[in-house]
């Protein structure tokens, strides 16, 4: 990836970086490193992925010029804490994007793992746990982050956007900011002891907070007001029958969809 480098803050914290022109998946490579005994923190970035994937096994289109990056971290404590890293990654990603573009009012975080630009998906995050072989080897987590820098895929069931709307930056320039913001977010999280503070910052960027939303689950759709996320990172919805805590699901934000402008059509 042209111009990719670590930020000064990340370098000072001993973070390492490896860059590939092409790879199957940055997450898969980071998992292989963990299984081979690398404890991180290690970033794997690539200009192209041949087998990129998103949450729930969905394919992730890895278009040239976009950001494809994965961070391996370990030694943070019990595996049960790992889902909190998704909120750290979301906060770091939106922080890097805001610093690069200044578009604070147009960027938002969608629970649990997306960044939106004008209500359309701009970035996604995929967490994968890894337990290396060997007695006493620390549990690790791979944090995959993909950002549409120059182009967004079109064959998706939801609208997607890219940074060309904001005039950049390049994937390499964005990565330097992201590496620093991620180091800062992990320091704030502090192995889970700082999740309350991290949660408050995440909520300050949350899309649909206080509005009517839908959580589409495998066997039902839960509708109600997006109240908050709780101390475990679950989405809390106020429904007519009471409060519901959602641990996983696809979230639909009707208010954002209604406010999204129609694309211009040629005559």
Lowest mean pLDDT among 211-215, 253-257, 258-262: 258-262
Check whether 134 has a pLDDT greater than 60.
Answer: yes
Per-residue pLDDT tens for 225-255?
999 999 999 999 999 999 999 998 889 998 6
pLDDT band of residue 264 (cuts 50, 70, 90) is very low
Candidates 31, 196, 228; CA nearest to 126 is 31
pTM of the model: 0.91
Per-residue pLDDT tens for 152-169?
887 777 789 999 999 889
């Amino acid at each position: 990836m042209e111009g990719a480098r670590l930020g000064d803050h990340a370098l000072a914290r001993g973070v390492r970086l490896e860059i590939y022109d092409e790879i199957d998946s940055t997450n898969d490579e980071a998992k292989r490193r963990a299984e081979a005994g690398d404890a991180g923190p290690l970033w794997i970035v690539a200009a192209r992925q041949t087998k990129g994937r998103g949450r729930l096994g969905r394919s992730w289109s890895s278009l040239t010029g976009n950001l494809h990056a994965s961070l391996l971290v370990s030694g943070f404590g019990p595996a049960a804490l790992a889902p909190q890293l998704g909120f750290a990654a979301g906060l770091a990603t939106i922080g890097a994007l805001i610093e690069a573009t200044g578009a604070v009012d147009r960027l938002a975080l969608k629970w649990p793992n997306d960044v939106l630009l004008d209500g359309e998906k701009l970035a996604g995050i995929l967490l994968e746990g890894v337990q290396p072989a060997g007695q006493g080897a620390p549990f690790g987590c791979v944090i995959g982050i993909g950002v549409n820098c120059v182009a967004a895929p079109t064959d998706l069931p939801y609208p997607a956007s890219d940074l060309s709307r904001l005039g950049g930056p390049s994937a390499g320039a964005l990565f330097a900011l992201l590496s620093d913001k991620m180091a800062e977010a992990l320091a704030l999280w502090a192995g889970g002891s700082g999740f309350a503070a991290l949660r408050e910052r995440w909520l300050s960027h949350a899309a649909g907070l206080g509005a009517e939303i839908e959580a589409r689950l495998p066997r039902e759709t839960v509708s109600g007001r997006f109240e908050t996320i709780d101390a475990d990172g679950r989405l809390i919805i106020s429904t007519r029958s009471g409060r519901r805590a959602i641990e996983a699901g696809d979230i639909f934000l009707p208010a954002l969809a209604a406010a999204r402008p129609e694309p211009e059509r040629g005559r």
